[in-house]
Chain A
Amino acid sequence: MIQFSEEAMRRYKTILSHYPEKRAALLPVLTLAQREFGWISQEVADYIGELMGYPPSDVLAVATFYTMLHKKPAGKYHIDICKNVSCWLMGVYPCIDELKHQLGVEKREVSADGKFSWDVTECLGSCGTAPAMQVGDRYYENLTPARVAEIIEELRND
């Protein structure tokens, strides 16, 4: 049985206090759950449903709508690399190839050491600094294949 840590439980209560109706807290709580448990497994959906009083199906229905909520395990560093117009124009595909080469896994798969997973994503709002990718709460911009290799190296050693 999974459950929130004490710290996460405090955070959960703070989140609830921000809304006149509990339901509105569901998305932030799912975000919190992903931070806690890594991804939104059916077990997590069940737990959040139980915690908040919604059927697990309802929780999972919401989770599967939002692409940033992982429906399968993700690496410690999950990398989302943008393939939308400006990033594409500025040459993101060589960067994607380099990323794949560096990590040695297909998209939405987790590297053997559990450290990395990656996916292509739609516009990150980094069009002026394209190509761009996101790792957690950090943006890496003006990418080149060489820069991608550098970043992965940094993260690998982190």
Chain B
Amino acid sequence: MGRAVISVYLCSSVVAKLMTMPKFTLNGQEIEAKPGQTIIQAAQDHGVEIPFYCYHVDLPIDGNCRMCLVEVEKMPKLTTACTTIVNDGMVVRSDNDRVKEAVRGVLEFLLINHPVDCPVCDQAGECRLQDYYMVYGLHTSRIPLAMKVRKRKVIDLGPMVVLDQERCVLCSRCIRFFEHVTETGEMQFFGRGDHVAIGTFEDKPLDNPYSGNVVDICPVGALTSRDFRFKCRVWFLHSTDSVCGGCSTGCSIRVDHRDGAIFRLLPRRNAAVNRSWLCDEGRLTFHQLDGERVQRPLMKGSEGVQASVTWDEAVRSIDSRLKEIRDASGAEQILGFASPSATNEGLFLFKRYLRELGASRFDFRLDCEDKNVFEEEDQILRHFDKHPNSMGAIKLGLASDELDGIQGAIEAARAGRIKAGIVMYLKPLVPRPSDDEAEGRIIELIDQLEYSVVLAAHSAEWQEAASVVLPVTAWSEEEGTYLNFEGRVQFAAKAIEPTADARPVWEVFAMLLHASGVESRWMSAEDVFATMTESEPAYRGITLDQTRLPGVVVG
């Protein structure tokens, strides 16, 4: 256990003090803390910023950086706010000259051996050294360059991380992450004194599926993202709150983008789902959005060749063709095959439109999504189901016993029991070897159908076999909700504009419903969500607000 004993101790104090809500004075203001809270936590809750590098809410306490020194009445020395539990009647100051001078000193110490290479450092703009320098420092360097301790730079630590030992403030966050979160211990301190440096054994690359997190938690530019490095200065980026589309865990994330291009995905802390973490595959999902896109609606003409049409033409044609088939052969000849990557709103109107036609054959399972959705790939975050909304599809009743997945649909089509279908296909954002096989099943299904409407974001050769191809938005290009493995509904905002003429799935079906004669009153995903909460029992009474951090588990 070693020094982590302090976390055990702090937790045991929580138990001992459970009954009390300590009141204490912080900078002259009386504040009520939660039982067992440390000074730094209570201060944060009340908007008082105490500086720190090593403290992290999801890691064991270490107390090594000494930036959070505060003055506590009756204590002869300054004490660290991250290690001191609030006691009733405590009088704490974080704003007097004694504390400021101490913090200024610690900051100067951190900077003496720092290379101050901000102009070429990716952390610039979100660096705590820079931030605190502006508040506490503003001093001129008192150390000659020749006296600085030199360490190694640009050490390649695998696909996600680049290490610069000189920029490191030795806060041990990365070490604690690998020790206590992944429990793999790849990163360590080596050496002693001012020659201590962080690193891996023999500079081995980090082959850990969560390695990218250490870039996020590094408060300085020591660990930078191999993927994001030198791509963009962070102050040019815009951030949008979203939900990871990589698997059924549904981690809360932030999409950083500029001019319609995504530059990086970062975890947003969600204590109920992913804490502060995100897996590497999830982090890189946005690269899967690259690739050729379906530009505009395509429809087969009389010669059987696809040509561009307007949305209006496409929608009218689809609605009338499907009704013809229904009238001629019966509604059971119409199949709806959904994608577990679509939003709840898209799936909800999809189902409503098919119901409107009188159809009741739905499914979404290309594989065993309904089982994999619960299967943990590891003990940290990842699930085997690489779709963000299989649970949403299940809750909407899209897993039909009759078809039992795509194989059933193919067989029914082959046997002539299904003639027409609306088929959504959205490529999983976390690629797996089985993806090609799954896509093959879609191709097989399309081939069997007399009339097929394909909704896709990315174009593929097989789409040429479809009667109609409709371009839909990809993940991050639309707003909507997703239901994770435990049934937690979470809202993802739209980060970037869709390509060309792609539309959200919900909008496609809103148009079809309109064409079908249903009064369409849905102008946004939010409107669709409202309708869904009225008509879907699982969602009854849930407001869109509740779907924001941390989300809510539906009935």
Using a CB–CB cutoff of 8 Å, the interface residues on chain A facing chain B are 42, 45-46, 54-58, 60-61, 64-65, 67
Contact = CB atoms under 8 A, between A and B. Distances in A.
A33 to B, nearest CB: 16
Contact of B185 (A46, A58, A65, A67): A58
Given A45-B201, A55-B201, A60 B190 contact: yes
A156 B333 CA distance: 97
Interface in B182-204: 184-192, 199-202, 204
B192 A58 contact: no
Nearest to B183: A55
Contacts of A55: 184-186, 201
A61 to B, nearest CB: 4
A15 B202 CA distance: 28
Main secondary structure of the interface of A (DSSP, over half): helix
B279 to A, nearest CB: 20
Given A42-B201, A42-B202, A45-B201, A57 B192 contact: no
A64 B190 contact: yes
Nearest to B190: A64
Contact-size category for B: 10 to 19
Q: Which of A42, A45, A64 has the most CB of B within 10 A?
A: A64
Interface of B: 184-192, 199-202, 204
Given A46-B201, A55-B201, A57-B188, 11 more contacts: A42-B201, A54-B185, A55-B185, A55-B186, A56-B201, A57-B186, A57-B204, A60-B188, A60-B190, A61-B190, A67-B192
A54 B190 CA distance: 16
Contacts of A60: 188, 190, 201
A57 B191 contact: no
A54 B184 CA distance: 9
27 contacts: A42-B201, A42-B202, A45-B201, A46-B201, A54-B185, A55-B184, A55-B185, A55-B186, A55-B201, A57-B185, A57-B186, A57-B187, A57-B188, A57-B199, A57-B204, A58-B188, A60-B188, A60-B190, A60-B201, A61-B188, A61-B189, A61-B190, A64-B190, A64-B191, A64-B192, A65-B191, A65-B192
Contacts, number: 32
Nearest to B191: A64
A58 B184 CA distance: 10
Contacts of A64: 190-192
Nearest to A62: B188
Contacts of B187: 57
A46 B204 CA distance: 13
A53 to B, nearest CB: 11
A54 B178 CA distance: 13
A55 B189 CA distance: 13
A61 B191 CA distance: 7
A89 B187 CA distance: 42
Q: Which of B189, B190, B191, B201 has the most CB of A within 10 A?
A: B201
A54 B188 CA distance: 12
A64 B186 CA distance: 15
Contacts of B199: 57
A73 to B, nearest CB: 17
Which 9 pairs between the two chains have the least Cβ-Cβ distance?
A61-B188, A57-B201, A55-B185, A64-B190, A57-B188, A56-B201, A58-B185, A64-B191, A42-B202
A60 B202 CA distance: 10
A56 B204 CA distance: 11
Contacts of B191: 64-65
A45 B186 CA distance: 13
Nearest to A66: B192
B17 to A, nearest CB: 30
Contacts of A65: 191-192
Contacts of B204: 57
Contacts of A67: 192
Contacts of A54: 185
